[in-house]
């Protein structure tokens, strides 16, 4: 990625930089791969709710997957209509359900029987019928970090398989919910095909079972989870959507008139974003040199929380500069406030700009005010 460094000098660091050309190209590729099939992609707002990003996602015609009243409001503020929005989450409050019903959202992804009862009651009180999909926990291992695996029996998400028939029967008996589909989401940053193939097989099996009981569904929603390449962001800045959607084209047996829905977050926005930070000090320790930058785990928590590594680049250093080995750390009073150890980088000086790459997803949105720091700014160019 070529960074517009001349434009960066007037912006105070740290800030998130979004390359809108890459975002648009990514969205165009998603649309190209889904154009000739009844596939509908909902952007998972949890990855990044920046208003500039949401505006571009909306222009591209994607729908929205939200998981809170706040995300619902962010989507509506960005101009999405209720009919484009699916609402997931294990702990939707009454107020959030009311907001969803009032906005006439496309669908609630229901995660438990008590939640379905509350949706039914609130819809009845408003004289409405709420569309729902049942989120199934398919007990599939996504082979990803344990904090972002969601589809195993031990996880809190969805309805476990042995309970599915009971919940389907309950939905059919309720007057103010309309069961339109099944929903799955097995985890995030999935870099192998196999979990998605297993998901297709499971969806086929459950559809067959439900059909045998006379239940017809208009949608299947397979969630999100497509991973990206953190180690080489410029190698394939646009994820392999052709291959990803191809798995579902090949393996998932859709019924005539049925739509297949997706909820992609990371693969849509991760690579277009970088956290830009300035070097405050270069400090020589006993056996190490430290680059101390002005961004910390409050701005980008993924390394501290998931042991994630975002590629680190010195974007001020001239090409071909000699290199040195550094630990790159933030200013926060925790040892986990570290972006990289033994990083080989061009010789770095106070004042240089550093880019932490692939930070467009789960970066800005997970920022906190820890240490009473300011939220990072953002710029979309």
Token pair for 192: 């192998």
Among 8, 40, 65, 142, the residue binding ligand LLP under the rule CB under 6 A is 65
Minimum CB distance to ligand LLP smaller for 101 or for 361:
361
Cβ distance 311 to 377 under 8 Å?
Answer: no
Token pair for 77: 């503020």
Among 41, 85, 88, 123, the residue binding ligand LLP under the rule CB under 6 A is 88
* Binding mask of the shown chain, residues 238 to 277, with x at each position contacting ligand LLP by CB under 6 A: -------------------------xxxxx----------
Is 306 near ligand LLP (CB under 6 A)? yes
Minimum distance of ligand LLP from residue 281's CB (angstroms): 28
3-state helix, strand and coil shares in percent for the chain, rounded to the nearest 5: 35, 25, 40
Q: Which of residues 17-46 bind ligand LLP (CB under 6 A)?
A: 44, 46
* H or E stretch at 244: helix 241-251
Minimum distance of ligand LLP from residue 147's CB (angstroms): 7
CA distances from 239 to 144, 158, 269, 293 (A): 17, 27, 10, 29
Minimum CB distance to ligand LLP smaller for 220 or for 317:
220
* Beta-carbon-side half-sphere exposure of residue 248 (alpha carbons within 13 Å): 24
Minimum distance of ligand LLP from residue 322's CB (angstroms): 34
Among 40, 278, 302, 311, the residue binding ligand LLP under the rule CB under 6 A is 302
Among 362, 367, 373, 376, the residue binding ligand LLP under the rule CB under 6 A is 362
Is 148 near ligand LLP (CB under 6 A)? yes
**Burial label, 305 (beta-carbon count in 10 A; 0-12, 13-18, 19+):** middle
DSSP conformational letter for 149: B
Beta-strand pair 338-346/39-44: unpaired
Q: Which stretch binds ligand LLP (CB under 6 A): 99-107, 219-227, 325-333, 352-360?
A: 219-227
Q: Radius of gyration of the chain from Cα atoms?
A: 22
How far apart, in whole angstroms, are the C-alpha atoms of residue 136 and residue 133?
9
Minimum CB distance to ligand LLP smaller for 223 or for 346:
223
Main-chain dihedrals φ then ψ at residue 326, nearest 5 degrees: -140, 155
Q: Which of residues 42-61 bind ligand LLP (CB under 6 A)?
A: 44, 46-47
Is 364 near ligand LLP (CB under 6 A)? no
367 three-class SS: coil
* H or E stretch at 182: strand 177-183
Minimum CB distance to ligand LLP smaller for 264 or for 345:
264
How far apart, in whole angstroms, are the C-alpha atoms of residue 177 and residue 123?
8
Q: Which stretch binds ligand LLP (CB under 6 A): 11-19, 69-77, 170-178, 183-191?
A: 183-191
Minimum distance of ligand LLP from residue 7's CB (angstroms): 27
Is 181 near ligand LLP (CB under 6 A)? no
| E strand spans, 14-106 | 15-18, 39-44, 63-66, 85-87
How far apart, in whole angstroms, are the C-alpha atoms of residue 176 and residue 116?
10
DSSP conformational letter for 295: -
Minimum CB distance to ligand LLP smaller for 88 or for 293:
88
How many residues bind ligand LLP (CB under 6 A)? The answer is 23
Is 188 near ligand LLP (CB under 6 A)? yes
Minimum distance of ligand LLP from residue 294's CB (angstroms): 22
Contact footprint for ligand LLP (CB under 6 A): 44, 46-47, 65, 88, 148, 150, 185, 188-189, 223-226, 263-267, 302, 306, 361-362
């Amino acid at each position: 990625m070529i960074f517009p460094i001349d434009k960066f000098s007037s912006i105070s660091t740290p800030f998130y930089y979004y390359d809108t050309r890459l975002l648009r190209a990514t969205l165009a590729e998603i649309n190209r791969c889904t154009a000739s099939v009844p596939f509908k992609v909902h952007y998972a707002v949890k990855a990044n709710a920046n208003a500039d990003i949401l505006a571009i996602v909306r222009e591209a015609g994607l729908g929205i997957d939200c998981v809170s009243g706040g995300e619902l409001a962010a989507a509506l503020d960005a101009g999405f209509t209720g009919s484009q929005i699916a609402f997931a989450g294990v702990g939707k409050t009454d107020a959030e359900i009311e907001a969803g019903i009032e906005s006439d959202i496309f669908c609630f992804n229901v995660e438990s029987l008590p939640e379905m009862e509350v949706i039914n009651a609130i819809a009845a009180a408003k004289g409405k019928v709420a569309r729902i999909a049942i989120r199934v926990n398919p007990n599939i291992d996504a082979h990803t970090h344990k904090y972002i695996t969601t589809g195993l029996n031990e996880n809190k998400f969805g309805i476990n398989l042995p309970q599915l028939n009971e919940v389907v029967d309950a939905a059919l008996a309720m007057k103010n919910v309309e069961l339109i589909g099944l929903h799955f989401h097995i985890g995030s940053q999935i870099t192998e095909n196999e979990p998605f193939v297993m998901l297709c097989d499971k969806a086929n099996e459950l559809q067959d079972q439900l059909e045998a009981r006379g239940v017809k569904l208009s949608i299947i929603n397979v969630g999100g989870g497509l991973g990206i390449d953190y180690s080489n962001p410029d190698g394939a800045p646009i994820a392999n959507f052709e291959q990803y959607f191809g798995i579902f084209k090949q393996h998932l047996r859709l019924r005539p008139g049925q739509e297949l829905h997706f909820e992609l977050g990371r693969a849509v926005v991760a690579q277009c974003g970088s956290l830009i930070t300035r070097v405050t000090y270069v400090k020589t320790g006993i056996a190490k040199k430290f680059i101390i930058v002005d961004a910390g785990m409050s701005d980008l928590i993924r390394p501290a929380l998931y042991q994630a590594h975002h590629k680190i680049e010195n974007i001020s250093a001239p090409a071909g500069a000699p290199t040195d080995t550094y630990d790159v750390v933030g200013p926060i009073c925790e040892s986990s406030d570290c972006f990289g150890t033994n990083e080989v980088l061009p010789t770095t000086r106070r004042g240089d700009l550093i880019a932490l790459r692939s930070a467009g997803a789960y970066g800005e949105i997970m920022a906190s005010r820890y240490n009473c720091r300011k939220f990072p700014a953002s710029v979309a160019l």
